[in-house]
């Protein structure tokens, strides 16, 4: 059974669409995508595990910073613009 479902708003059953619109507090446009996700939760790390859980992402951030430290802001901006063109082609002129 899938944990993620994606529908076009126009394909939703009327009662489902009404429920989603009520939760969002606005009307859906027919061409909008609606995602429904279900996942289990877990307890936050406690005691000694809590600081260790934060260290893993910090280590990744430091490694990424070292890799990108030699690049210029112009190079970073060009990479960002390239990525935006790929994910939002309609907003580029």
pLDDT over 90 (residue 17): yes
The whole-angstrom separation of Cα 79 and Cα 76 is 5
Residue 2 or 62, more confident: 62
At 22-67, the pLDDT tens digits run: 999 999 999 999 999 998 888 888 888 888 877 778 888 888 888 8
At 9 the pLDDT is 96
At 20 the pLDDT is 96
Between the CA atoms of 16, 18, 19 and 24, what dihedral angle is there, to the nearest 10 degrees? 120
Report the predicted TM-score, pTM, of the whole model to 2 decimal places: 0.46
């Amino acid at each position: 059974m899938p944990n993620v479902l994606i529908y076009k708003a126009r394909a939703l059953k009327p009662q489902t669409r009404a429920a989603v619109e009520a939760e969002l507090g606005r009307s859906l446009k027919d061409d909008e995508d609606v995602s429904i996700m279900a996942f289990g939760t877990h307890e936050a790390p406690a005691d000694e595990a809590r600081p260790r859980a934060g260290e893993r992402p910090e280590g990744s951030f430091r490694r990424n910073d070292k890799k990108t430290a030699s690049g210029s802001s112009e190079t970073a901006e060009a990479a960002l613009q390239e990525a935006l063109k790929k994910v939002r082609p309609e907003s580029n002129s």
